Structure 1
Amino acid sequence: MASIKFRLRSTADKNVSIKVRLILGRGKQDLEVNTGFSINPKDWSESTDLPKQNNTENKVIFNNLKKLESFLFKSLNNDMGETIVIDSFWLNSKINDCFERVLKTDEGLITNYIQNIIDTADTRKVKVKGGYKHGLSLSRKNSYIATKNILKEYEAKAKKQIHFIDINQILIDKFENWLLKTKNYAINTSSKHIANIKTVCIEAENKGIQVNSYAKQITIATESDEDRYIQTLSFSELDEIRKAEIKSEAYQNARKWLLIGCEIGQRGGDLLDITADNIRYKGGNMYLDIVQHKTKKPITIGIIAPHVIDIIENSFPYKISTQKLNDHIKKVCEIAKINTMTEGKIYDAKIGRKVFDKYEKHKLITTHSFRRSFCTNYYKRIPTPVLMGISGHSKESIFRVYINAPEDKDENADLFMKFYNDIHKDKVPEMKVIKNGTVIF
């Protein structure tokens, strides 16, 4: 049976901290922490272990301590049945919950720790190939912001703040189920939040913060390859788009971005940042130089498609937002009759999640399709390492997953034979006379 008592640990003639003492099961566990309230010992009743009700201020403290006592007993009854660890971390968090306190300096709270990562994002050391660099990428920072916000929402729903010591299997399972079933998040979106929590837990423990030992065992689920529906535009479909009669200036502009995007193999954000300053010429050839936002890799692409050279030199598209481009290219593809019924997922605002079904293809095209179309269209036509150098992929295994292409064991052999034939195609046949007088070449 649990007992809860309040006491002072000083008799000084000044305000001193009021402690709360929680004893579980005949002294099996004896916890004591500050309540956050203070009082002069002369206003403390030794008989009731509560403030004397001799003035308004003491009456307020008395009522708050009784409120805390009731809250702690109720929380104990709930959490003892959930196999939650009852310790000083738990007791402190319940006091904060009871009075809705937010301790900005409490690094034991996972949301506080994540906020610190966000606040120091520009100066944090990040391990990269060959050493370290300063500063998280914008996408990584935004990922932490999203995880912090969703954790705050879950804390409000659960009516408790989450400490690192709380990160056990039960909590993670409940949180993941809430993301998938209540928030209707996709598996990969849910997994990104879980992965961020695991990363933060490992870092916090390395810095000496007490973390539940389960944190390192958290498993990250991923969507299986067969659930990934990759939308690309073939060369013939791009020809239809190029030839389509489009009157709207906005849609003409979007078409230009689409045609450039499918020939340079870059992400939508990198594509829309291109200006005439990124273009240079050497030996009569056009080159495009960029630095990818996500990977910070410098990339050079040779521009050779005549229609793309014409767009860049004579009618460079004006910049628009990624969202507008996504909206406009769907209309461009619809006008070009890109209507093949295609499996994919489209966001349904009514239910707040993506729905898998068969749709007319133009409804599924986004800026993500540009880079994938480039990689898919030129795969096996151009050596994979060359394509990876342009797209920015660091591993061939990742590249193959990206375009949904299984490993082809004959690919290198086929390329060798092709290059061998190209090397020797202009070689003059060698005449040889064998013993019986036959001439062979």
Structure 2
Amino acid sequence: MANIQFRLQSSTKEKKPISVRFKVGRKTDVTANTGFSINEKDWTETNLPKKNNDVNKLLHKSLLKLQSFLEDRYNEALTDSTVIDKFWLSNQINECFERVEKKDTGILANHIQFIIDNANTRKVSGRNQIGISKSRVKGYETFKKIIEDYQKTAIKKQIHFLDINKTFVDKFTNWLINTRNYSKNYSGKQLDNLKTVCLDAEKLEIKTNPYIKQIEGFAESNEERFIVTLSFDELEQIRTCNKITNDAHLNARKWILIGCEIGQRASDLLNITKEDIRYKGGRMYLDVIQRKTKKSVTIGIINPYVVDIMKNEFPYKVSTQKLNEHIKKVCEIAEINEKVEGKKLNPEAKKNKPETMRKIQNFYPKWELITTHSFRRSFASNYYKKIPTAVLIQITGHSKESLFLNYINQREDKDANADLFMQFYERLNKDKEPGMTVIRNAQ
């Protein structure tokens, strides 16, 4: 059981600071300033203020409140394996009297907001650039809402960087997956965000828990992932469907056909214009600077109907959200009905209920699962093993082959490079005259 005592600190001032000593056995003995002070003549032998005026009565009541608060929080700390130190004690005092300032740099949520507020001047890691993307800022805003939700509904207190130990991370992970029912990928991403923010705070010399370097995100295994793509045959089915008559759906069909042929993210696809197209030797080239990686990519467009669309019927721009709605309808009209296994967002999520923000795994008609992200995956899957992987990687923007293969749920084919070499060798030597023939010595 904890032994809690209040003491007067030595001081030359008339009013002396009141500290609290928190002692448990021989191992735990910490002291912190309560923030209160009192004239020594108003202090009793029982180490509490006299009740000789209204101010001291209130102070007496406040110290007893703190004593009860510390006892309760200590019991919680025992179940959490929390380290009881001076920081813990000071933090409990501030929590008890709600003294935590909104501008306190040691608070996790405040530092997330600091990153958001300074987004346009922040240096991008690994690049000689400043200013983080709008999508990344939105990611930080979402992460802050999740942290505030966790503080409000789960732990009933603000999170300080020094609080973020293994126990905290384990409980936060459990809350993300089992209470909020977020997917493994989404939950793992929030842990990545947590580590990123903590490391950023550390760079600014804000005190953090040493455990932050051990925080690791996670993702679904290949067996748990569902890759939904449109095959060449299905794309032809969409292209030739004469039941698509609505203007928005006709526009969406164009984006489907272009997207599945150029292999770019939706954010890049929907920002291309006719000015990005150029011609050389009668062939069409599309130049794109990928927003996420800042890579400059050139794609050769040779598919006749895609060339025609981009040259004569270029689609008008639409938001990703709207396009996702339209392409589902286009695929439904084109009868892309094959039942495939996948995950769909719980319909209740549209009612802004955080606990329902999860995807339900089941078998659905394929059109229900098609999104703009299917375009890039369709390109990569359709052309895999038909075009050298190194060429595909340069177009999709993946940094290495292993990431590309994981993206389309393919295992490394160790024979692929050997087969490719032999194919090119055969082509190189196809039209050559027979050269010198080696004849073995007859015995």
TM-score, shorter chain, exceeding 0.5: yes
> 1:151 — aligned with what?
147
Q: Give, in whole Å, the separation in 2 of the partners of 1:433 and 1:287.
A: 45
Query: What number of residue pairs does the alignment pair up?
Result: 430
Q: Give, in whole Å, the separation in 2 of the partners of 1:232 and 1:353.
A: 22
Q: 1:423 to 1:434 in 2, by over 3 A?
A: closer
Gaps of 5+ in 2: 349-355
Q: 1:22 to 1:159 in 2, by over 3 A?
A: farther
Deviates more, 1:190-199 or 1:2-11: 2-11
The offset of 1:222, in angstroms, is 2.3
Contact 1:10 1:41 (C-alpha < 8 Å) held by counterparts: no
RMSD of the alignment, in Å? Answer: 2.8
> 1:373 — aligned with what?
378
> 1:439 — aligned with what?
none
Q: Does 1:421 align with 2:432?
A: no
Deviates more, 1:364-373 or 1:278-287: 278-287
The offset of 1:61, in angstroms, is 4.1
> 1:4 — aligned with what?
4
Secondary structure in structure 1 of the residue aligned to 2:124: strand
> 1:134 — aligned with what?
130
Q: 1:260 to 1:49 in 2, by over 3 A?
A: same
User: Aligned partner of 2:389: which letter?
Assistant: T
Q: Give, in whole Å, the separation in 2 of the partners of 1:416 and 1:81.
A: 62
From 163, 179, 194, the equivalent of 2:176 is 179
Query: Which residues of 2 match residues 328-347 of structure 1 at below 5 A?
Result: 328-347=326-345
> 2:96 — aligned with what?
98
> 2:217 — aligned with what?
220
Q: Give, in whole Å, the separation in 2 of the partners of 1:221 and 1:186.
A: 11
Q: Give, in whole Å, the separation in 2 of the partners of 1:192 and 1:19.
A: 44
Q: Does 1:124 align with 2:129?
A: no
Secondary structure in structure 1 of the residue aligned to 2:80: coil
Deviates more, 1:18-27 or 1:391-400: 18-27
> 1:25 — aligned with what?
24
What is the aligned-residue identity percentage?
A: 53
Secondary structure in structure 1 of the residue aligned to 2:121: coil
Q: 1:254 to 1:14 in 2, by over 3 A?
A: farther
Q: Does 1:64 align with 2:80?
A: no
Q: Give, in whole Å, the separation in 1 of the partners of 2:338 and 2:27.
A: 69
Query: Which residues of 2 match residues 198-209 of structure 1 at below 5 A?
Result: 198-205=195-202, 208-209=205-206
Tell me the TM-score normalized by structure 2. Answer: 0.87
Q: Does 1:189 align with 2:194?
A: no
Contact 2:105 2:111 (C-alpha < 8 Å) held by counterparts: yes
Secondary structure in structure 2 of the residue aligned to 1:346: strand
Contact 1:165 1:210 (C-alpha < 8 Å) held by counterparts: yes
> 1:362 — aligned with what?
367
Tell me the TM-score normalized by structure 1. Answer: 0.88
- TM-superposition CA deviations, 1:97-151 (whole Å, max 9, x none): 22334333433333333333333333333332xx643333444433333333222
Q: Give, in whole Å, the separation in 1 of the partners of 2:40 and 2:432.
A: 112
> 2:247 — aligned with what?
249
Contact 1:8 1:41 (C-alpha < 8 Å) held by counterparts: no
Secondary structure in structure 2 of the residue aligned to 1:133: coil
The offset of 1:177, in angstroms, is 1.0
Q: Give, in whole Å, the separation in 1 of the partners of 2:132 and 2:359.
A: 29
